Structure 1
Amino acid sequence: MAKRPKKKGVTAKEAAADQSNLSIIYIHGIANKPAPAVLKRQWDMALFGVDMGSRTRMAYWADIRYPQPLPSTMTEAKAMILSESYRPRSDEEIIDESKRLAPYGKDAEAFAQKLAKRMLDQSKKDQIRAQDGTLDVKDVQAKILPPWIRRSATEWITKQFIEDVAAYFYNQEQRKAIQERFRSLLNPEGGPYFVIAHSLGTVISYDIMRELTAGSGAQTPYYITLGSPLGIDEVQDNLRKPVRIPAPVKQWDNFADLLDPVAFDKSLSGEFAPTGKIDDDIVINRDTLRLSGFNPHSATGYLATKNVQTTVRKILGSSFAEPLSPFIVARDLAAEMADPTERFPVLIELKEEMTGKTLEEKRKNLIEELTRLTDRQRAAKIDPLRRFVAAELTSIEIDTLAVRHPQLQIARIWKNSEKRALLDKSTHVVQAYTAQLGYGATGRGITWAVLDTGIAADHPHFKTYNNIAAQWDCTGIGAPRMPKTGDVGDGSGHGTHVAGIIAGSGTGENALYRGMAPEAKLHIYKVLDDDGRGSDSWVIKALDHIASINEASPSLVIHGVNLSLGGPFDPTVYGTGFSPLCRELRRLWRMGVVVCIAAGNEGRLIIETFAGQQELNLDLSIGDPANLDEGIAVGSVHKEQPHLYGISYFSSRGPTADGRAKPDLVAPGERIVSCNARFAAKRPATHYVPMSGTSMACPHVSGIVAAFLSSRREFIGRPDQVKAFLLSHCTDLKRDRYHQGAGMPNLVRMLAET
């Protein structure tokens, strides 16, 4: 059958008018699939060559039929080979087996047998015509493929199609659940929508779109069907009559491969009223051209064809797939949103225009909307911050917020990313002990915030100078909480170890263990759980609290913060150093608070290869928020012989993803001895323990700056000058700038030259 002449369809001008707010909805077809996010990305890559983030959504229903998804590396071709149906069988065997595939009564069995016979008969006809040239097959590979490969593929596809289509038509519970997956993405307030459907997905989407009316509710002006069974009489018998083009559809393009056993009626134009309005196009599925993995019904094979891509590009315009397009839902969040049943941790950022409602009013309105939208479910974990609201929402709830973002004054919806503790004789190495003795730089009168896993506040190390000024738990919903009794605790031990490097002093036989600024006061914020894991929202909650304390006082109360935590980031989502967390840290810096951040422990990576484990040393491994330009990013160096052994193998290296030099400097981070949260009070030998990582290097710098400020108070509230002075007085270790930064801090030099 020759390709039909193209109809006029929607004009380029009309398409351009819709393109600015057009959303694509994919709906997949038969057989089990990989996890939702994996499948969506496969379709994005096949059609556009890039991950499209929130601009495309997948109506995923495979889990309703198949509880366990395919592994991400499992293709349909591999699944075909592994199935027992890959053994060629007679038509009679397949038709007889089809009854078992439709266990929903006599009508379902009769439907399955009739459909199996028709599919097998049509497949034989198509293959014969492909061989003798009466079909317009332009690629010789389809002709010379061994018949047993084509036969086996046809058997497998036929079995999967009959099994799934019978369930859809004759299992009403599954049919309703499957339909709801597609219907839920058609937000009446959103759109317009461009629906791209494959296989049984064309039946499901048609079923729902047939209910829509033009001009009201969800609008679906563009419709592409791939390998569709909508032309099959047995399928049409189960659809609403008469079969006609859905009212909102302005342009319908249908694509079929000549050897696709599901789309054996290649033309839909004459089937759906008004006739002649559907553009039917014969294509060669990319997976038809493969000897290994032959599959003329492959969804990604259809999406990768030039005909489909050209049609999509004409509708969307060339800029739709631009990676840097504006967005409301961040790309890394959108990439995970394909699973309709899961809740995703989000950070909803409020607009901060000076006109109109106050930030407090906007936050209140958003919380009311979230409460209504989530039906007051506790699972939503709605947690208001200053400029953000954290929550755990379903993909449908996120989509609803995105559609209503102008009314709700939402700037962006970000992924609430995970942060983790960066754990993988030092006072003398950075000259802190000498400065304490010679300059009285002990941290007295300086307060530092430690954002970490908490603290064992009863540790003797913190009793000598009564270092712990306040403790706050930020790991729950609501405002930071002070412990009613005892302290916030530290099930991890990481936070206690970090705090002990900044301040405090041992006694008796442990008197040699002193913090960099032994007399500094500490405000402890628990932002990581006892496994050393937390979220951006918990950290931002602590930063909001620190800002409010400083704003309520005529002078700074908290002079600096230590963040021995971090995580990876996606530079396609936001500029390097401009994540929500980085922007809140920048506000604090501009308030006059020094920000010290561990650079990360990603300098060494172990990967699995066919030859076994291989180790790689990585540049460009600075994490988030260490990539904040204003902050002081701290790498790790050997604690006793830094000139000889240099930078720690695990310490993250620069430059940043946008080309800036980081880390800013390095400090001791290997086997650093500090407070043990699991100490036994009467056994001094258990009071201290060694740990390694940039987590240990960072508090060295926090303590050094606290000690410096206690002796040179004119620099309080001037973090830019403090950072410049700190870096200009480092000891050069003669290592690469992207490894060592300015070198290792020297507190005595800083004090001697001021």
Structure 2
Amino acid sequence: MPKKATNSRASKQARALETSLDSKAKTIVYVHGLANKPREEVLKRQWDRALFGFDLGERSRMAYWVNRTRYGAPLGETADPDEIAAMQPKPGFSTAAVGGSHRGVDSLIPTDASETARPSLTRLRDQLLQGQADPAAKTTAYHSKVLPLPSALRGWVMRQVTEAFLADANDFFFDTAERARMRESLIARLRTGGGPFVIIGHSQGSMIAYDVLSNWDQAKLGPIEVSLFVTIGSPLGLAEVQDRMKELTGQKRLGVPATVKRWLNFADAWDFVALDKRLAGDYTPKSRITDVAVDNPVESNPHSGIGYLSVEPVRHAVVSNIRKSLFQKVSEFTVSRDLVAAMASEAGKRHPVLIELQDRPPYSSDWLLRDGGRPENLEAVTANRSREQVVAWVLERVRKTLALESGADSANPITDEGLEQHIDLEKLESFVSARLTRPEVEELASTMRGVAVFKVFKNSAKRRHLTQSLRTIQARTAHLGYDALGQGITWAVLDTGVDGGHPHFQSSKTIEHIFDCVKTGAIKENAISPDQNVDADGHGTHVAGIISGEYSNSNETICGVAPRTKLWCYKVLGDNGEGSDAKIIKALDHIYRTNRGAADLRIHGVNLSLGGGFDPESFGCGDTPLCKELRKLWRQGVVVVISAGNEGQVDLPDGSASLNTYMSIGDPANLDEAVVVGSVHATKPHMYGVSYFSSRGPTADGRAKPDVVAPGEKILSCRASELGSTAKTAGTLDELYTRMSGTSMAAPHVSGLLACFLSARREFIGHPDRIKRHLLDNCTDLERDARHQGRGLVNLVKMLINT
């Protein structure tokens, strides 16, 4: 009988078992089969794509139990997880040596099997070999097909599968520690909530799943609901396996687990492991089990798990028993796909997460007006209630995790302050950030979703953007002709900190405040001292020096673009130049509250010479948590200036060539409500054009970025130093200043330019949309591709002339 006919008939059987909406699953849990596999996140993605065609993110979980002691390193990312060659253990492991089909059958028994285990494994081996000799003999109702392999090769394939199965079965049936580890791989994916579930067990994974579900202790682990239990290529029909399962589950006659509503068993006629294709007669009640014959499309290995998942009957059975609206390529989520992938292979590791609160403040401009229409108690509509709930839940859950890990006595509880430091917990206006384990994240999502938690994101890493410019942007002429020096304007610099004692910032007392947002907890203001440097990296000091400040010695004067502008410096990146969304948002919250509490804007603009990647499957472009907070600030009246990034040229992995890359604008530079700045040559922009490293547009959703370009190559600005004040004052220019390149240097040129403009045209203060439009309309066209230069080179004099 042709495969198409068999699978069509099987689809009709599966279709008849569709469940009601209330019972439809919200999460699919996979339990993989025997032998070596790729890393967990890779295997999960492969199974997702075989079943649905795309990564399911939080909607699927993998119970991963590979014995790494036996198999060594995982298979590669592009490897077939059911590859026959992967069945063999790593060299030196104590099992039978690899051989051909001529080997004696005794060699199939693991050499490390105990004397107690050998009789059972021998019976299991004999049942497998006997069934493999004539796989269709016991399944006359199943159609017969011919395995398209030469006889010798077919025998070798069968023996590889048999040997791997016996080795893993030995672990499961006769090694208490290994069985506990296998069981825990599934229990850990179920007890965090998220049901009802569809559980799919392949090969030995079906044995693990049956054992766990049959022994599920609701009093200890909590109730679960399994809408559908799917077994593919399952050995649960083998007599020896059934005898062992009776012992493990304490049943005299095997039954369908009480937590399972329906059980579908799929088997191929030539499957080397699923030799008894019918389970309905062996497990009671028979009415809750349906056996379905299918043709596995992987002809060289009819036991292939991916092959089973890709056949229409299996796919239809699963789709019929899930809430389809949740399993779309673009659908609502609680835990972002990039966070799910990051947590996959390191369940016990603490991952940086950003929790968006359910009762977050509205982002509509109606709530953010500075005059009229805004409630006096705006704080009352913020996320206070949700934040308190989330913080309390996180602290309690983490305390429980740590107590289990350390066996700590409840009489000596860990303090909240100690926990907050341990998990780097930050209480932000619309978010809570912390470092949580995968089980904690899954449980948070399942228990607090819709109550206090809206979404849970990866707390994405951000980094600095590195790689006679005043005349290039016409700032020097504006200083002299318009007295546009930035006076009366305050700008925030979010970066690696600043060397507050640098002479460049002393003459005009440029730096008003320095805040440390990197340390856990409330923002801490550092006292400004000539001897103090809170910028071990140096990037923030260099950026601040481009915006404002001035220094003169007997030979030369060096000044920022807006030398009279005051700076508030926020350390949001660590001493290695790296940070996270949460630390940046903490600074943005502080700026927003500072402005909200004042009669007029106290901070007129912010500079962010930083950025990173983002997951387009988890966020709309320009709509990440960081972008949302920047948009809120923009609507408050604050100008936001962001560096475009330095991903304009990338090297091939083998180093053979470099490529210019379009659509290389990252996050938060893809925000519409911001001025995004690319880089050009410092003194000859018309000749050399846009810097090779400057990120190109458009954004991933097709918007024009960058907005403008400014000097960013070999820019001379302040060098952070640990020298004392006397040494700094007496220092040479080479000791006090250094050159850096990157869009990080271009962005502060625009921040300084806009500060100068606002100091001369104060009626524009508080109107960032008008400011941005005027900036773009008065750029100098460098006659380069708009995806490289945006609207062109910024020009301060043209802005002033045309107002």
Matching residue's letter, 2:637? G
Q: Does 1:112 align with 2:121?
A: yes
What amino acid does structure 1 have at the position aligned with 2:311? T
Q: CA deviation at 1:550?
A: 1.4
Q: Distance in 2 between matches of 1:678 and 1:73?
A: 48
Identity of paired residues, percent? 44
Structure 2 CA distance, aligned partners of 1:175 and 1:556?
64
The answer to whether the 8 Å contact 2:680/2:689 transfers is yes
Shift of 1:213: 8.7
DSSP 3-state at the match of 1:534: strand
CA contact (8 A) 1:473 1:526 kept: yes
Q: Equivalent of 1:326, from 320, 329, 332? A: 332
Per the alignment, residue 19 of structure 2 pairs with 14
Aligned twin of 1:244: 255
Cα contact 2:18–2:321 (8 A) shared by 1? no
In 2 relative to 1, CA 632–737 (structure 1 residues): closer, same or farther, beyond 3 Å?
A: same
Residue 547, structure 1, aligned to residue 547, structure 2:
no
Measured in 1, the distance between the counterparts of 2:381 and 2:641 equals 35
Deviation string, structure 1 residues 79-107 (Cα, Å, up to 9, x no partner)? 35897755315452x524524142xx321
In the TM superposition, what is the alpha-carbon distance from 1:137 to its structure 2 partner?
4.0
Q: TM-score with structure 1 length normalisation?
A: 0.92
Tell me the equivalent position of 1:153: 157
Partner of residue 388 from structure 1, selected from 415, 427, 431: 431
Greater CA drift, 725-734 or 681-690 = 681-690
State the match for 1:291 in structure 2: none
1:676 aligns with 2:738: no
Query: 1:194 matched to which residue of 2?
Result: 198
| Counterpart amino acid of residue 392 in structure 2 | E
Query: 1:509, 1:684 within 8 Å by CA — same for their partners in 2?
Result: no
Q: 1:124 is matched with which residue: 133, 151, 155?
A: 133
CA distance in 1 between partners of 2:89 and 2:80 (Å): 11
1:448-463 to 2 correspondences below 5 Å:
448-463=491-506
Cα-Cα RMSD = 2.8
2:473 and 2:711 map into 1 onto residues whose CA distance is: 8
| 1:506 Cα deviation from its structure 2 partner | 2.8
Quick one: which of 70, 73, 86 aligns to 1:79? Answer: 86
Amino acid at match of 2:537: S
How many Å separate the matches in 2 of 1:689 and 1:176? 59
What's 1:723 paired with?
A: 772
Change in 2 beyond 3 A, CA 1:411/1:532: same
Q: Is the contact between residue 488 and residue 526 of structure 1 (CA under 8 Å) also seen in structure 2?
A: no
The CA distance in 2 between the partners of 1:578 and 1:534, in whole Å, is: 19
1:132-174, Cα deviation, whole Å (9 max, x unpaired): x997345x6x23x123332332222222222222112222122
In structure 1, distance between residues paired with 2:572 and 2:681: 28
2:396 maps to which residue? 372
Query: Does the 8 A contact of 1:517 with 1:707 survive in 2?
Result: yes
**Contact 2:236 2:279 (C-alpha < 8 Å) held by counterparts:** yes
Contact 1:188/1:217 (<8 A) preserved: no
Task: Tell me the secondary structure at the aligned position of residue 335 of structure 1.
Answer: helix
- Is it true that 1:532 corresponds to 2:537 in the alignment? no
Shift of residue 577, structure 1, vs aligned partner:
1.0
Residue equivalent to 1:697: 746
Of 550, 560, 564 in structure 2, the residue corresponding to residue 505 of structure 1 is 550
Name the counterpart of 1:747. 796
1:56 corresponds to which of 56, 60, 68: 60
Secondary structure at 1:569 match in 2: coil
Letter in 2 for 1:498: V
Question: Which one-letter code corresponds to 2:491 in the other structure?
Answer: W
Q: Is the 8 A contact 1:473 1:488 kept in 2?
A: no
Structure 1 counterpart of 2:43, one-letter code: L
Matched residue SS, 1:575: coil
Counterpart-to-counterpart distance in 1, 2:555 and 2:391? 51
Partner residue, 1:308: 314
Residues 516 and 357 of structure 1: CA distance in aligned 2, closer, same or farther (over 3 Å): closer
| Structure 2 residue 707 is the aligned partner of structure 1 residue 664 | yes
SS of match in other structure, 1:597: strand
Name the count of aligned residue pairs. 738
Q: Which of 139, 162, 166 lines up with 1:162 in the alignment?
A: 166
Match of 1:343 among 321, 342, 350: 350
Displacement, 1:33? 2.1
Cα distance in 1 for residues equivalent to 2:427 and 2:360: 19
Alpha-carbon distance between aligned partners in 1 of 2:15 and 2:138, rounded to the nearest angstrom: 35
Aligned twin of 1:569: 614
TM (normalized to structure 2)? 0.86
**C-alpha distance in structure 1 between counterparts of 2:292 and 2:592, whole Å:** 62
Shift of 1:68: 4.2
The structure 2 residue matched to 1:295, chosen from 282, 301, 309, is 301
2:242 matched to 1:224? no
2:108, 2:162 within 8 Å by CA — same for their partners in 1? no
Which among 637, 643, 652 is matched to residue 592 of structure 1?
A: 637
Q: CA deviation at 1:276?
A: 5.1
Seen in structure 2, the aligned counterparts of structure 1 residues 607 and 6 have a Cα distance that, compared at 3 Å, is closer
Q: 1:647 aligns with which of 662, 675, 690?
A: 690
Q: Aligned ranges for residues 601-616 of structure 1 at < 5 Å?
A: 601-608=646-653, 613-616=656-659
Cα distance in 2 between the residues matched to 1:574 and 1:747? 35
Residues 642 and 677, structure 2, Cα contact 8 Å, conserved in 1: yes
* Aligned partner letter, 2:348: T
- Change in Cα spacing, 1:311 to 1:199, as seen in structure 2 (3 Å) is same
* Conserved 8 A contact 1:346-1:390: yes
Secondary structure of the corresponding residue to residue 584 of structure 1: helix
Classify the secondary structure of the residue corresponding to 2:200.
strand
Judge which range, 719-728 or 502-511, deviates more. 502-511
Contact 2:504 2:551 in 1 (8 A): yes
- Find the counterpart in structure 2 of residue 256 from structure 1: 267
Aligned twin of 1:626: 669
Q: Equivalents in 2 of 1:380, 1:399: separation in Å?
A: 17
1: CA distance, partners of 2:605 / 2:382: 29
State the shift of 1:358 in Å: 5.8
Judging changes above 3 Å, is the alpha-carbon distance between structure 1 residues 254 and 431 closer, same or farther for their aligned structure 2 residues? same
Secondary structure of 2:210 counterpart: helix
Are residue 436 (structure 1) and residue 479 (structure 2) matched? Answer: yes
Distance 1:343 1:202 in 2: 30
- Say yes or no: does 1:272 pair with 2:279: no
Q: Secondary structure at the match of 2:709?
A: strand
Change (3 A) 1:63 1:501: farther
Instruction: Note if contact 2:542-2:717 (Cα within 8 Å) is conserved in structure 1.
Output: yes
Of the structure 1 ranges 255-264 and 201-210, higher mean CA displacement relative to structure 2 is found in 255-264
1:540 maps to amino acid:
I
Residue aligned with 2:652, SS:
strand
Q: For residue 106 of structure 2, what is the amino acid of its counterpart?
A: I
Q: Give CA-to-partner distance per residue, 1:414-452, whole Å, 9 cap, x none.
A: 111111111122111001111112211111221111111
Cα deviation digits, residues 529-570 of structure 1 (max 9, x gap)? 122111110110110111122122221111111001111112
